[in-house]
Amino acid sequence: MKVLVVGGGSREHALCWALRQDPAVERIYAAPGNAGTALLADNLPIAADDIDSLAHQAQELRPDLTIVGPEAPLCAGIADTFGRHGLPVFGPTRRAARLEGSKVWTKELARRFGIPTAEAHSFDDPRQALAFSRRFPFPQVIKADGLASGKGVFIATDFAQARDAITSLMERRLYGSAGHRILVEAFLEGVELSAFALFDTRQYTILGFAHDYKRINDGDSGPNTGGMGAFLPSPLLSPSLVRQIEESIFSRLHAACIEEKLEYRGVLYAGLMVTEKGPFLLEINVRFGDPEAQVLLPSLRTPLSEIAQAVCRDELSGLRLVRHPRSVVGVVIASSGYPDNPRQGDRITLSDSPSSASGRQGVLFHGATKRNQGLLRTAGGRVFTAVGWGDRLSEARLHAYQEVDAVSFPGMHFRKDIASSLAGHPVAEPHEA
């Protein structure tokens, strides 16, 4: 079969990597791809949000399956456009993708369907938002309504910080139209957990769980980013917690999709806060997370094409999902100046991973990379995700940082505490937790 992967980051390299190991997949296309996907797929020089050009190319190539990595083309309706041409897409329709495209709309949906979530109020007038924020308890969370590449969320511990966040989003338009409306939300105490489920229009099944690290620096300091690392399995998980997440989050979300007539065929990523009172929904993403995909995909034994086709055909009931009994750790390597002003064009040097000598237990996923006159160079903020795996979390972490050691470029930055601390506490081996 032929598969088209839309996107050009580390998540898309991971998708191509998973597909390349799938014996059913004969050819892979990546649009636009990067220097890493070029080793596994035919890169197509088409931007991920250029839906008309993608649809035209897909009509010529006739892929058996299209997997969409980033949120922007999903929210712009790529699944609808491809569907009109008989091209199956692993990803929700434009209307269903509003679950990520509008935090205000999703918050209202969660309230209607009894999904536990933090108290929040929406505003499209900065003066009203500021007046409310001054009265609302601190700390509080200020969120852009629209797409902001995972960066439109601010935690304010006092009114001065809240004022800066509100004016940055609504008046200075730090993230463009994403800040036309905002949420002022109550702060929840707990540990964040990324939960993934496969949805088709008939049923759902849990795909997996991971923890990610959003702050740029060690100890969860500095500004929010698109993600600086991730790991699985979670030391928090217990049969009781999984049951709570199924009953209060995923089953109600799936029921909402059916009742609202949202055509959702794809992976749904629920960002949760696990509190003393149970799991609360923070946000929904309508695709694989980045960097969570880079640790989730190596944990799956069931071929990716089999998973995606079952979803696209509304045949989840017949899917047998098998996972590796392993721990996986991913460390993002970013360029100087990320997230606000990432430097580009620096020459990258790669050496063999130290783990190669004894049988490699890791992989280096390219993100913002390109080849210029035969030389590998940085092309944006998150340049690589170094991934390692092993029987224990400590072993997976060791292999991930060995992959980091194989990379060198001026100003490279990465966190040194991925999978060693979480919410200010040391991470225990899951079976010891």
The mean per-residue pLDDT over the stretch 94-121 comes to: 96
Kindly report the number of other CB atoms within 10 A of residue 151's CB atom: 17
The fraction of the chain above a pLDDT of 90, given in percent, is: 92
Alpha-carbon distance of 64 to 400, in angstroms, equals 33
Which pLDDT belongs to residue 151?
80
Q: State mean pLDDT over 263-271.
A: 97
Structural tokens at position 407: 């990379």
Superfamily assignment of 191-318 in CATH?
ATP-grasp fold, B domain (3.30.470.20)
Chain segment 198-216, per-residue pLDDT in tens: 999 999 999 999 999 999 9
Task: Quote the pLDDT of residue 423.
Answer: 76
In CATH, 327-432 is 3.10.20.440: no
Which band of pLDDT confidence, cut at 50, 70 and 90, is reported for residue 123?
very high
Mean pLDDT of the 161-187 span: 95
pLDDT at 355: 54
Model confidence over 358-398: pLDDT tens digits?
A: 578 999 999 999 999 889 999 999 999 999 999 999 999 99
183 close to 295: Cβ distance less than 8 angstroms: no
CATH class label, 119-186: alpha beta
Res 356 pLDDT > 60: no
CATH of domain 2-94: 3.40.50.20
* pLDDT tens column, 26-83: 999 999 999 999 999 999 999 999 999 999 999 999 999 999 999 999 999 999 999 9
**Over residues 404-419, mean pLDDT:** 97
At residue 358, the pLDDT reads: 57
Q: What is the pLDDT of residue 432?
A: 42
What is the rounded CA–CA span in Å between residue 382 and residue 176? Answer: 21
Strand positions, DSSP E, 226-314: 229-232, 266-275, 278-285
pLDDT in tens, 249-262: 999 999 999 999 99
Longest dimension (CA), the chain: 61
150: pLDDT strictly greater than 80? no
pLDDT of residue 353: 64
Question: Could you give the dihedral angle defined by the CA atoms of residues 80, 293, 21 and 92, in that order, rounded to the nearest 10 degrees?
Answer: -10
- Asked whether the predicted pLDDT for residue 433 surpasses 50, the reply is no
Query: What is the pLDDT at residue 421?
Result: 85
User: Which pTM value belongs to this model?
Assistant: 0.95
Q: How far is CA 233 from the centre of its chain?
A: 16
Q: What sign has the CA pseudo-torsion 282, 287, 291, 293?
A: positive
**Residue 181 in contact with residue 105, Cβ under 8 Å?**
no
User: Domain map of the chain by residue range?
Assistant: 2-94, 119-186, 191-318, 327-432
Which residues lie closer than 8 Å to 359 by C-beta, 6 or more apart?
none
Q: Residue 58 and residue 52: Cα distance in Å, rounded?
A: 10
Q: Give the residue with greater pLDDT, 340 vs 45.
A: 45
- Identify the band that residue 357 occupies on the pLDDT scale cut at 50, 70 and 90: low
Whether the predicted pLDDT of 350 surpasses 90: yes
Instruction: Please provide the average confidence, as pLDDT, over all residues in the chain.
Output: 95
